[in-house]
Amino acid sequence: MTDAIVIGAGINGLAAAATLALKGWKVAVFERSERPGGAAKTLELTLPGFRHDWGALNLSLFAGSAFHQQNAGLLAEHGLEFVPAKDCFSSAFPDGRWLGVSTDPAITTARIAGFSRADAAAWQAMLGAFGADAPHIFSVLGSPMTPRSALHTAWKIWRARDAAFLARLVRLLIQTPRAFLDEHFESDHVKATLAAWGMHLDFPPDQAGGALFPYLEAMANQSFGMVIGKGGADSMIGALVRLIEARGGTVECGVAVTGVTTAAGAATGVTLADGRTVKARRAVIANTTPKALVDGLLGGTSGRSGYDAGARAFRHGPGTMMLHLAMDGLPDWAAGAELKRFAYVHLAPSLRQMANAYTDAMAGLLPAEPVLVVGQPTAIDPSRAPAGKHTLWVQVRVVPGTIKGDAAGEIAATDWAGAKEAMAERVLDIIERYAPGTRGKILGRAAVSPAELEADNPNLVGGDQISGSHHPSQNFLFRPVTGWSDWTTPVSRLYHVGASTWPGAGVGAGSGSMLAERIARRR
């Protein structure tokens, strides 16, 4: 018998297991896929020697997390290595101009001044305030989310600052990206460069609650830079697995959990697809979607109808398509060769284009002009490809999980098996407009549809890489189900972590590590 069983070897499941293992618990992790990592894994998807991150590329949230800060030395001993990017993100525009954020504030400010001196001054002012503001913002995102803890966090912020700052913070948390950007900047180029970050989640320009992510990413990248994993995102995953195993835990892949066993209203273990039943003395931790937890692992009921209804009503965001390219060289960006140095080049030229892409996808239409996040990992970490060669990581945001039509009227297929390659060609057409000749540099390619993302990882319903909408009605105290934002469930000793729970998507390991710290203190 083990102390704790973790269902799913995604970042939060592994962080929970590692935290408990470091505290002396005997832990067992079961993962249905043949590899650990969930959406954070690295594969040779195109040609031998070209290593492509399947999903997560930017590991800055993990590098800055409380979990990593507490365990950085141990994780490094087990193989975790980051590669820093000083040229973090940029946007290229149809008029031949570009704007990028690098870690040197003077360089970034000068670039912004090329579009608007007023905006350059606003950027400097925002950056100047960020050092004092950031600890309080991160205290919200890095704390458990219950009414009591939220009030306690608000009280601490009020004590440290004042009521006016607390009001500004609350306003930021509910503001739309457009309103926030219009309030601070005048240049449409500057606004588009920052608003693109909202599209990494499910925040088009006019969605309430969407201002925070563009603000934080802009300020954090300027202040701290960006990091990716040496050789791939699996540097992070491999280190976590080895740490768990070094502390006596086990991580079994290719083993599906079919159910959670209970007795007297408490979780006692799990049943596996191979016929085994494994008992847990203290906890079962599920890294799944809410619906999969109730209708899959609990056989249709948790014992509380309100919780079950909320879990089934959990809303997923629009889908994502990925395009992985093995390249003879980086794109020749028409806007300037300097763009070759950036970890990300966003092709999201206007707030209108972002809004249209999101509206199309939510209506079931393939966007005529999707937002493209063109990752250039080998510009930062050449070890991911053979000498002199490169990879491109292209995230297509956003697309429908279920296709009802094509906004451009060009793609007839309404299933992803038939539409995937045509959509990949549309993506390449867009890149070609900004970097002519890119097609001629492609040595190999692999398109991954929303359907394939979900088949690989059922938590990504409809290709939703953020595992659930982050709109205000499904965030903070309402994530994943109102009244159950503290990772508990109606079944005693059964806990729920992952991107579907607070604090949401990304590789920050917040839900897994915070839950594990809490339950370890109780024993």
Average pLDDT for 14-33: 98
Task: Check whether 165 has a pLDDT greater than 60.
Answer: yes
Does 445 share its domain with 505?
Answer: no
Asked whether residue 95 is domain-assigned, the answer is: no
pLDDT of residue 499: 98
**C-alpha–C-alpha distance, residues 307 and 42, integer Å:** 36
Residues 6+ apart with CB under 8 A from 352: none
Show which of 227, 243, 265 is a domain's final residue. 227
Show which of 207, 227, 247 is a domain's final residue. 227
Assess whether the previous peptide bond of 458 is cis (omega < 30° from 0). no
Supply the range of the domain harboring residue 436.
Answer: 316-456
pLDDT tens digit string along 114-161? 999 999 999 999 999 999 999 999 999 999 999 999 999 999 999 999
Which residues pair with residue 287 across a beta bridge?
A: 497
Does 358 share its domain with 431?
Answer: yes
Show which of 434, 456, 478 is a domain's final residue. 456
Q: What's the structural domain count of the chain? A: 3
Asked whether residue 92 is domain-assigned, the answer is: no
Asked whether residue 464 is domain-assigned, the answer is: no
| Size (the chain), residues | 523
66, burial (CB in 10 Å: exposed 0-12, middle 13-18, buried 19+): middle
Whether the full predicted model's pTM is greater than 0.85, yes or no, is: yes
| pLDDT, the chain, mean | 97
Q: What letter represents residue 39's amino acid?
A: A
- Here the tokens at position 16 are 């929970």
**C-alpha–C-alpha distance, residues 11 and 508, integer Å:** 8
Does 324 share its domain with 379?
Answer: yes
Does 321 share its domain with 298?
Answer: no
Average pLDDT for 270-284: 97
Average pLDDT for 479-503: 97
Task: Check whether 523 has a pLDDT greater than 80.
Answer: no
Does 452 share its domain with 325?
Answer: yes
